[in-house]
Homo-oligomer: A and B are copies of this chain.
């Protein structure tokens, strides 16, 4: 509790965010922001024909304007609308194929909410590439700090990408709208009182995951535009009685995450790429398994069973989807993902198919995989997302392999050529047959800070 004159942690975070200028952002942060922006465009193209996205396109057509300055990702040509609806759809699309980034400490996927919202609003306002980048850096920072503040016990029930994400969106959009600190606090307050998103959908493979990212954008844009137009939000929606921490966190919060090392430690460069096309909780184990198989010359058919010591959140989230009746659900089954990786040598987007769901060898392998809580790994999560597999072969041999970081983690990040290759794969998956179009998209992304506007990124 603070008096009116005392600064809250939320005050300090928002003052920092409002003051941030493009010229003050370190170059490696700018470069990584562009990496994730391109990565997100690829994800959105790959997911654009999903039924959840189509339902939202239809909603936008019925409830929104028939044209506008913001571009809508869709297979049909040249669709435009208002920024709230464009971001709704693009955020849904970019979260479908489970290839968007992960901010480890907050257990959030910031890219899929921050970029669609900031892009749609930047297009609406005619903002430059530099203004767009600065807003995205702000959105990552504010959103991920809130996610980390809400912490592990929040994540057990809530999809933090939505609950932290809506705050990040409000901050990013406020930056583009050039709101002052008081208005931005209102925007963040209004965003926080809309924060929602439950994991319940994992049980029956339904579309809430896309709803969460879509609505985080819409609701955050609502919060920021309304704040500009006089709507007052609570001054500190994060801390104190009946704030997000009190209402949405059954266990401990991490208050210091809100305002420690502002400007010294950027969330963007602590975010990870997804290399495999499955739930991020499977990635360290996939990497460990692939290393093990290569190191010891073990093949798919040689494996009798696998034990996977892991952290509690992986067991919680992956435990909800059962055997995986759909392609999307199968990406949340540790056993099925390891089966795919072991059989195909990789777990890329094209490696998960309807046929694979009926493959009895994959299903038998899946059943032989058992997750178990490892207290040492759990204690370091989400600071570190470690993976260990203990493989017992049919021959009787047993091997163990651990990875401290998964491929794509900040400590083990993707190269630009790997990002480009991933983008090409995502675009092909999304039906783009002309690779030269993808090449020019890549070129624009790498030169984003020189763009005078950010229109024409979808096709």
A interface, CB within 8 angstroms of B: 51-52, 54-56, 58-59, 62-66, 82-85, 156-158, 186, 189-190, 192-208, 211-212, 215, 219, 221-222, 225-227, 229-237, 240-244, 246-247, 250, 320
The answer to whether A235 touches B204 (Cβ under 8 A) is yes
The answer to whether B63 touches A225 (Cβ under 8 A) is yes
The answer to whether A208 touches B225 (Cβ under 8 A) is no
The answer to whether B233 touches A215 (Cβ under 8 A) is no
The answer to whether A51 touches B231 (Cβ under 8 A) is yes
Give CA–CA (A58, B227) in the complex, Å: 11
A158 in contact with B198 given A51-B230, A206-B189, A230-B51 (CB within 8 Å): no
A231 in contact with B56 given A198-B244, A215-B219 (CB within 8 Å): yes
The answer to whether A190 touches B204 (Cβ under 8 A) is no
Highest count of chain B CB atoms <10 Å: which of A83, A198, A219, A241: A198
Give CA–CA (A247, B158) in the complex, Å: 8
Interface of A is mostly: helix
A198 in contact with B192 given A219-B215, A226-B56 (CB within 8 Å): yes
Give CA–CA (A157, B198) in the complex, Å: 17
Give CA–CA (A84, B64) in the complex, Å: 9
The answer to whether A197 touches B208 (Cβ under 8 A) is no
The chain B residue sitting closest to A51, CB to CB, is B230
The answer to whether B157 touches A230 (Cβ under 8 A) is no
Highest count of chain B CB atoms <10 Å: which of A66, A82, A201, A205: A201
The answer to whether B203 touches A232 (Cβ under 8 A) is no
- Chain copies in the assembled complex: 2
Give CA–CA (A246, B186) in the complex, Å: 29
A212 in contact with B193 given A198-B242, A242-B320 (CB within 8 Å): yes
Q: Which residues of B contact A64 (CB under 8 A)?
A: 63-65, 82
The chain B residue sitting closest to A84, CB to CB, is B63
Pick from B62, B195, B225, B250: contact of A196, CB under 8 Å: B195
The 9 tightest CB contacts between A and B, nearest first, are A55-B231, A157-B247, A206-B232, A196-B196, A55-B229, A63-B84, A199-B242, A63-B82, A58-B229
Give CA–CA (A230, B210) in the complex, Å: 13
The answer to whether B199 touches A211 (Cβ under 8 A) is no
Other than the known A55-B226, A62-B225, A211-B231, what 18 A-B pairs have Cβ atoms closer than 8 Å?
A: A51-B231, A55-B229, A55-B230, A56-B226, A59-B222, A63-B65, A63-B85, A156-B242, A189-B200, A190-B207, A193-B197, A193-B198, A193-B211, A200-B236, A201-B233, A203-B240, A204-B234, A211-B233
Q: Which residues of B contact A219 (CB under 8 A)?
A: 215
The answer to whether A196 touches B198 (Cβ under 8 A) is no
The answer to whether A242 touches B157 (Cβ under 8 A) is yes
A226 to B: closest C-beta gap in Å: 5
The answer to whether B222 touches A208 (Cβ under 8 A) is no
The chain B residue sitting closest to A237, CB to CB, is B200
Give CA–CA (A230, B59) in the complex, Å: 11
The answer to whether B229 touches A206 (Cβ under 8 A) is no
Q: Which residues of B contact A84 (CB under 8 A)?
A: 63
A246 in contact with B193 given A51-B230, A232-B206, A237-B200 (CB within 8 Å): no
The answer to whether B200 touches A240 (Cβ under 8 A) is yes
Q: Which residues of B contact A65 (CB under 8 A)?
A: 63-66
A159 to B: closest C-beta gap in Å: 8
The chain B residue sitting closest to A199, CB to CB, is B242
A152 to B: closest C-beta gap in Å: 15
Give CA–CA (A59, B121) in the complex, Å: 13
Give CA–CA (A393, B231) in the complex, Å: 43
Pick from B54, B63, B211, B243: contact of A230, CB under 8 Å: B54
Give CA–CA (A296, B277) in the complex, Å: 77
The chain B residue sitting closest to A57, CB to CB, is B229
Pick from B52, B198, B229, B240: contact of A243, CB under 8 Å: B198
